[in-house]
Amino acid sequence: MARSMHVRRPATLASLAAELGVSRTTVSNAYNRPDQLSPELRRRVLDTARRLGYPGPDPVARSLRTRKAGAVGLLLTENLSYAFRDPAAIGFLEGLALACEDAGTGLLLVPANPEREDVASVHRAGVDGFVVYSVPDDDPHLAAVLERPVPTVVCDQPDLGTVDRVGIDDRGAMYELAKHLIGLGHRRVGVVCMRLARDRNDGFVTPDRQHAAHFHVQRNRLSGLAEAFSEAGVDWSQVPVVERFDHNMASGASGAAQVLDKDPQITALICTSDVLALGAMTEAARRGLRVPHDITVTGFDGIRAGEEAGLTTVRQPVLEKGRAAGKLLLDANERTRPRSVNLATELIIGKTSGPPRGGAEERWFGP
């Protein structure tokens, strides 16, 4: 009776060994190396464990001893829950989860609130490696990860030269998309892009801010556009580029509105993501602009909803990207690090791009 009044101190491997009158090695073997002891003894150990309420070797203590956590950490730029809102991020997560599953490894989502500079969560993460997905290049969490003595793979980030990297050719892909628009005859265009840095700037973007953008992906997509249009004789510094901090359709819509208010003459609205482009389409519709007859709208990513809308975009293999990141991290071959993987993208000509209004006629009368 009195016994049950005590807070029963949970049994440990040592206490179990003592109870059984065997060594700790034997108990450990009963769990980890069944072939190292007789079946009867093993039974006896396991039975006694059950009787004493011993839940098996403590995973943390085991990790300390074996120097293996059995998990990889994932660092995202956004509030953790953002990952479950953005279709491209979900695809990436799925691919990464697939790779982890194959390896029997856990996937730890590290809470890295971009608002706070608190990197303790990175220090606290008991993981065998990190995947860093699309964070600004000056993010303190990224710096904290790089200081941890575990392998790291960065994704949609600049090549650091010191850790593995997987990504796509954002610049080249956007350049190609721009060439398509230029071929159609577009010269007067506007751009809606995602956040370029950690500070909120919902408005027009100066050329300086474009160049200095801390998000690798956005910087390169813009630079691909600038290059293509500059080559076509367009003064890029005069092109309205609008930035939005939050990544959702509402941002796409309001961004499009801001661009169109500034220059109602533009013939194409180039968005740096499908989600923004979908939002831009709703704004176009709201203004009675037919796509692509009155205005061309393009995206980037190749998400399902964009496909259904017939969006002209660049499709990137988000799931493969996640899987590749996981594979890279879990492939322990240190000798070949650091590695850099570029995945292929595909320009999708949908039904949201066409010649500028009047553009076709110009051709009829052209040289």
Partner DNA sequence: TTGAAAGCGCTAACAC
Partner DNA sequence: GTGTTAGCGCTTTCAA
Q: Which amino acid is at 12?
A: T
Q: Is 34 in the site for DNA (CB under 7 A)?
A: no
In the list 1, 4, 6, 10, the residue contacting DNA (rule: CB under 7 A) is 10
Q: Which does 36 bind (CB under 5 to 8 A by kind): DNA, a copy of itself, none?
A: DNA
In the list 41, 52, 71, 250, the residue contacting a copy of itself (rule: CB under 8 A) is 71
Alpha helical stretches, state H, the chain = 2-5, 13-20, 24-32, 39-52, 59-66, 87-103, 120-124, 140-147, 170-184, 207-211, 216-231, 249-262, 274-286, 304-308, 318-330, 359-365
How far, in Å, CA of 33 to CA of 50, rounded? 18
Give the contacts of 314 (CB within 8 A, at least 6 positions apart): 173, 174, 176, 177, 299, 300, 301, 302, 345, 346, 347, 348
Q: Is 188 in the site for a copy of itself (CB under 8 A)?
A: no
Residues present in the chain in total: 367
Binding segment (CB under 8 A) for a copy of itself, from list 95-103, 131-139, 168-176, 343-351: 95-103
Least Å distance between CB 72 and a copy of itself?
10
H or E stretch at 296:
strand 296-298
In the list 47, 64, 262, 362, the residue contacting DNA (rule: CB under 7 A) is 64
Total site size for a copy of itself, rule CB under 8 A: 50
Q: Is 135 in the site for a copy of itself (CB under 8 A)?
A: no
Cβ nearer to a copy of itself, comparing 55 with 264? 55
Cβ nearer to a copy of itself, comparing 212 with 285? 285
Q: What's the half-sphere exposure (Cβ side, CA atoms, 13 Å) at 144?
A: 18
How far, in Å, CA of 109 to CA of 81, rounded? 10
Whether the bond between 292 and the residue before it is cis, its omega within 30 degrees of 0, is: yes
Least Å distance between CB 278 and DNA?
47
- Contact residues for a copy of itself (CB under 8 A)? 10, 53, 55-64, 69-71, 73, 79-81, 83-85, 90-91, 93-95, 97-98, 100-101, 104-111, 113, 118, 120-121, 123-126, 147-149
- Contact residues for DNA (CB under 7 A)? 10, 12-14, 21-26, 28-29, 31-32, 35-38, 41, 56-58, 61-62, 64-67
